[in-house]
Amino acid sequence: MDIGGTLVKLVYFEPKDITAEEEQEEVENLKSIRRYLTSNTAYGKTGIRDVHLELQDLTLCGRTGNLHFIRFPTHDLPVFLQMGRNKHFSSLHTTLCATGGGAYKFENDFRTVNLQLHKLDELDCLVRGVLYMDSVVSGGPSECYYFENPTDPDHCIQRPYTLENPYPLLLVNIGSGVSILAVYSENNYKRVTGTSLGGGTFLGLCCLLTGCSTFEEALEMASEGESTRVDKLVRDIYGGDYERFGLPGWAVASSFGNMMSKEKRESVSKEDLARATLVTITNNIGSITRMCALNENIERVVFVGNFLRVNTLSMKLLAYAMDYWSKGQLKALFLRHEVNLTQPQKTVGALLELLHPS
């Protein structure tokens, strides 16, 4: 499990090569848990199994099986624990591998249902997970990709990218907040910096500004809005480009800058506000990342995290910003599974840790 600030991510390995003898020896509780997890795609009101990202016929520790990805909001953790109590998780005498801040915060709550947590550092898990995902999915289309012609919307297309020799790379994990890691090898990385302006900020501000309540809703609104009605652009101030400093007229001079005027506050739509929030947060992550890449002298950046889930808008913005402001020096990379995945890397990393302790 990866228990984050907003979401809990769970991976479950379902062995498919169970022999008849094994099946007989298996306790009833385990069978019932497996049946419950694999036969449903939704659990309660908020739990979801992302069927489309299930990894089938995977070999782990000599066993073949399927890897399932399940997610639910962190505030529903008590419901999950209650389910565990009902299904007698504790009778399995097993250890649950957990990462994310919640592994620490909720450790005692797990004890109340007699579950032992094996706590793992989340950044260790993230790095291991990202590298593993890239290697394991190599059979099909490349896990890693970039946008070709990011500055030209008409010709901007996804292209596979081979992470054969991945180091050094900058790994930007955009969850509720953002962590930026410089990775030099699988076991050698450092957290360069982070910012509190992340996915949680986007959703939080959208909720306050538009009254929406889910990430999907916020993204949907953003896709229909126009941020230039909310933001003050360079051309709004200088009438065009600010040539003395090489600033193009379309660049944002002040995020939400137009909202200083009462008249303009009254004329914008909720969609415009959602879009401006998305653009503001995304561009800011881009600019901090770019400065870190320069300071660390790294040219490849992999963006991962919840925030990018079903968020092509932000990915293209990041690709554009990296390319434009670095004059083509920096390459923004994304992971294909991110489009649908609920950030599986960390959870998979945690699972790997259980199987192959480093």
Partner 1 sequence: MAECVRLDRSASSHTMDKSITLPPDEIFRNLENAKRFAIDIGGSLTKLAYYSTVQHKVAKVRSFDHSTKEASSDKLYEISMQEEVSARLHFIKFENAYIETCLDFIKDHLVNTETKVIKATGGGAHKFKELIQRKLGLKVDKEDEMTCLIKGCNFVLRNIPHEAFVYAKHADSEFRFQTTHPDIFPYLLINIGSGVSIVKVESEDKFERIGGSSIGGGTFWGLGALLTKTKRFDELLQLASRGQHASVDMLVKDIYGGSYGSLGLTGDLIASSFGKSATADKEFSKEDMAKSLLHMISNDIGQLACLYAKLHNLSRVYFGGFFIRGHPVTMHTITYSINFFTKGEVQALFLRHEGYLGAIGAFLKGAEEDNPNQYSWGENYAGSSGLMSVSPDMNPMQRARSGTFDMLEMDRLERQLVNLPLLQDPSSYIPDTVDLTEDALAREYWLYCFEEALDGVVKRAVASQPDMPEAAERAEKFSQKYRHKLQTLRHQPFAYGSLTVRSLLDTREHCLNEFNFPDPYSKIKQKENDVALRYYQKAIKSLEELSWEERQFALAQGVLAGNVFDWGAKARPWLVDSYDQWLERLKGPPHKCALFFVDNSGVDIILGVIPFVRELLSRGTEVILASNSAPALNDVTNGELQILTERIAAMDPVIQAGLREDRLTLVQSGSSSPCLDLSRLDKVLAMVVRERQTDLVIIEGMGRAIHTNYYAMLSCESLKMAVIKNSWLADRLGGKLFSVVFKYEVPAGKSSQCSPPLTRS
Among 122, 143, 271, 353, the one annotated catalytic: 122
Does 107 participate in catalysis according to the annotation?
Answer: no
* Cα 78 to Cα 81: distance, rounded to the nearest angstrom: 5
Contact between 73 and partner 1 by CB under 8 A: the answer reads yes
CA–CA distance, 219 with 322 (Å, rounded to integer): 22
Selected range binding partner 1 among 64-72, 79-87, 155-163, 239-247, rule: CB under 8 A: 239-247
Q: Measure the CA–CA gap between 58 and 65, rounded to whole angstroms.
A: 5
Q: Which of 1, 13, 50, 74 binds partner 1 (CB under 8 A)?
A: 74
What is the 3-state composition of the chain as percent helix, strand, coil, each rounded to the nearest 5? 50, 25, 25
| The one among 263, 327, 357, 358 contacting partner 1 by CB under 8 A | 263
For partner 1, the closer of residues 65 and 200 by Cβ is: 200
Residue type, 184: Y
Q: Is 200 in the site for partner 1 (CB under 8 A)?
A: yes
Secondary structure element (H or E) that encloses residue 332, with its range: strand 331-335
Pick 150 or 199: Cβ nearer partner 1: 199
- What is the footprint of partner 1 within residues 136-195 (CB under 8 A)? 175-177, 191, 193, 195
Q: Is 252 in the site for partner 1 (CB under 8 A)?
A: yes
Structure token digits, residue 232: 């003050």
314 binds partner 1 (CB under 8 A): no
C-beta of 132 vs 189, nearer to partner 1? 189
Nearest to partner 1 of 3, 33 (CB atom): 3
C-beta atoms surrounding 224 within 10 Å: 12
Annotate 47-72 with DSSP letters as a single string. Answer: EEE-GGGPEEEEEETTEEEEEEEEEE
With contact defined as beta carbons under 8 Å apart, do 194 and 284 qualify? Answer: no
If the CB atoms of residues 186 and 217 are measured against partner 1, the closer one turns out to be: 217
Q: Does 79 bind partner 1 (CB under 8 A)?
A: no
Supply φ then ψ for residue 58, to 5 degrees. Answer: -90, 140
Closest CB to partner 1 among residues 41, 213 = 213
The distance from CA 143 to its chain's CA centroid, rounded to whole angstroms, is: 15
Question: Rounded distance, CA 256 to CA 231, Å?
Answer: 4
Q: Which stretch binds partner 1 (CB under 8 A): 83-91, 288-296, 313-321, 343-351?
A: 288-296
Q: How far apart are CA 103 and CA 109, in angstroms?
A: 10
The residues that touch partner 1, with contacts defined as CB under 8 A, are: 4-6, 73-75, 100-102, 104-107, 121, 123, 175-177, 191, 193, 195-201, 203-209, 213, 230-232, 234, 237-238, 242, 244-245, 247, 251-263, 265, 273, 280, 283-284, 287-288, 291-292, 294-295
Kindly list the catalytic residues: 122
